[in-house]
Chain A
Amino acid sequence: MKKLINKPEEVVKEELQGIELAHPDLVKVFYDPDFIVRVDAPVKGKVGIISGGGSGHEPMHGGFVGKGMLDAACPGAVFTSPTPDQMLAATKAVDGGAGVLHIVKNYTGDVMNFEMAADLAKEEGLEVEAVVIDDDVAVKDSLYTAGRRGVGLTVLVEKICGAAAEEGRSLKEVADLARKVNSLGRTMGMALTSCTVPHAGKPTFDLPEDEMEIGIGIHGEPGRKRMKLQSADEVVEMLMDPIISDIPYKSGDEVLLFVNGMGGTPLIELYVLYRKAVEVAEKHGIKVVRNLIGPYITSLEMAGTSITMLKMDADLIKLWDAPVLTAGMRKGI
């Protein structure tokens, strides 16, 4: 393992110390339990929005704390969901009197820990709603399994709901909006390489030089199938087809197209992918009205990409365009 770290057990703590030093104008960092809050939290009368998950997906979630996006983020150990005491402390820290929304990615650990935190918060008289994001079309959806994973769409939910909360919408409205975005967006990812979890010390799976893994999540977990490496254009088709046919997106739809890097794939390649993704969308009569390109929800140093499509309407476009000021995403400010 070759990594710029000191000790595997210290990575998350030292990352938080770095964030604290780098962005004192945006966030405050708390330790034991660990969480990051917006510098002016709690914002009186505003719905508080918190999210959290394992570390290793930077800039998500800590990099999205700030005006117009998240009020707090709870980082777990690398690829491990955080614990209920972190979420409870963060919930209390951001409650400005209008209630708190938990944005939860659909993983067994995240869901159970957030459920326990919400129970504890309610016992203390706080108003909490949770919305579970499950946008990954690579996973078969079924009532009898853990269901689809929450992946790329989470970034868009956090931005859009953050803008809605900033506008002064109620907890119920912001939660309904999160559910609406979740119902209108879909994602599919692929990997060229695995990644190495610091405390594991070796790659989670072996992927030969000439092969790729289709349908991966964001934790270095193997995907649904492995195949010979294909060109960028072929990969885009392989990712876009299941996305488009899942909802399904129709001719005339307006979408936000999000081409995400998994951590080890440079922007030059993401733009190559974006170019083809727009072409595929247009072939189906789908109009790309907004986009996001870059590494926003990563899987450590994994090389690969995920593509997310979100069907937009006037309200979503307005919220997407609203100002945001965070370490990981900034516009209009």
Chain B
Amino acid sequence: MVITRDDVIDWIKVYAQLLVEKKDYLTDLDSAIGDADHGANMNRGFQAVLSKLPGMEDQDIGTIFKTVGMTLLSTVGGAGGPLYGSLFIQAGKAVSGKMELTLADWADALEAATTGVVSRGKAVLEDKTMVDALTPAVEALKESVSKGLSLSEGLKNSAKAAEEGMIATIPLVARKGRASYLGERSAGHQDPGATSSFYLVNTAFKTWTNSHK
């Protein structure tokens, strides 16, 4: 089974819709250790993406990802803009020209995406950032591919790993981004960026397994 271009577009739509619902929650998380804007930033970006979707629908998946990334870069601002912008632009480069993705392609895309986030933001694991949700998701995908697991099993494993990574940010002391200004006081709060990244991986799992039932 493969992920089609329509699946990719559905995923982006579902994620944008989820951000509308979770906007206040993400902003609450960011109030505790940041500046109360992560939900609004992500929502602004993905609303702009939605308005550009009609023009992307006949492109290849790589181009779709790159257009999403460029749109985020020019509409999100904050740390989220360059980070999520790089995430999608690098994912796009990894699957350039493809009209459908296997689990292995998706693993490559998310790996390139995560590398893009790391090279832009210089965060390492346990800095209490979105990297803490993305890295385990990539590892779970790669392991699933090497074990020859099905698409839905692989997606499920990656969502679970991202969720664990997100929850594991709670006790951490932030070393990157605004939350690092709080020092020890950042411990005890879940990172907003790790949360929005978990949603991204989790909606991929939910949307793509539903469409292949």
Contact = CB atoms under 8 A, between A and B. Distances in A.
Binding partners A and B:
yes
B144 interface: no
Given A81-B77, A83-B81, A220 B36 contact: yes
Contacts of A54: 77-78
Given A76-B77, A112-B82, A115-B82, 11 more contacts: A54-B77, A77-B41, A77-B44, A77-B77, A80-B40, A80-B78, A108-B121, A200-B37, A217-B181, A220-B36, A224-B185
Contacts of B74: 33, 83-85
B78 A200 contact: no
B180 A197 contact: no
Contacts of A78: 37
B81 A204 contact: no
B119 to A, nearest CB: 11
A205 B30 CA distance: 11
Interface of B: 27, 31, 34-37, 40-41, 44, 73-83, 120-121, 175-178, 180-183, 185
A112 B41 contact: no
A77 B185 CA distance: 26
A197 B37 contact: yes
The 3 A-B pairs with the shortest beta carbon distances in the complex, nearest first, are A112-B82, A109-B78, A109-B79
B36 A145 contact: no
Contacts of A145: 175-176, 180
Contact of A219 (B80, B120, B177, B178): B178
A155 interface: no
Interface string A236-267: 00000000000000000000000000000000
Given A77-B41, A80-B41, A204-B35, A108 B178 contact: yes
Interface residues of A, number: 37
A108 B37 contact: no
A34 B205 CA distance: 37
Contacts of B44: 77
B90 to A, nearest CB: 13
A33 B75 CA distance: 10
A289 interface: no
B82 A204 contact: no
B79 A79 contact: no
B176 A108 contact: yes
A62 interface: no
11 contacts: A76-B77, A76-B78, A77-B37, A80-B41, A83-B74, A83-B81, A84-B82, A109-B81, A116-B73, A204-B31, A204-B35
Contacts of B81: 81, 83, 109, 112-113
Interface string A132-151: 00000011100011100100
Interface string A172-206: 00000000000000000000000001011000110
A263 to B, nearest CB: 15
A149 B74 CA distance: 24
Interface of A: 33, 54, 76-85, 107-109, 112-113, 115-116, 138-140, 144-146, 149, 197, 199-200, 204-205, 217, 219-222, 224
A289 to B, nearest CB: 31
Contacts of B181: 138-139, 146, 149, 217, 221
A115 B121 CA distance: 11
Contacts of B75: 83
A199 B40 contact: yes
A82 B31 contact: no
Contact of A77 (B40, B79, B177): B40
A217 B180 CA distance: 12
B185 A222 contact: yes
A95 B35 CA distance: 33
A27 B99 CA distance: 48
Contacts of A149: 181
A83 B31 contact: no
A77 B35 CA distance: 12
Q: Which of the listed residues B79, B80, B83 has the most CB atoms from chain A within 10 Å of its own CB?
A: B79
Contacts of A112: 79, 81-83, 120-121
A91 to B, nearest CB: 15
A172 B101 CA distance: 49
A146 B185 CA distance: 15
Contacts of A116: 73, 82
A76 B176 CA distance: 21
A78 B74 CA distance: 16
Q: Which of the listed residues A80, A140, A149, A197 has the most CB atoms from chain B within 10 Å of its own CB?
A: A80
Contact of B177 (A140, A146, A200, A222): A146
B178 A83 contact: no
A146 B77 contact: no
A113 B175 contact: no
Nearest to A140: B183
Contacts of A84: 73-74, 82
A80 B38 CA distance: 9
B180 A146 contact: yes
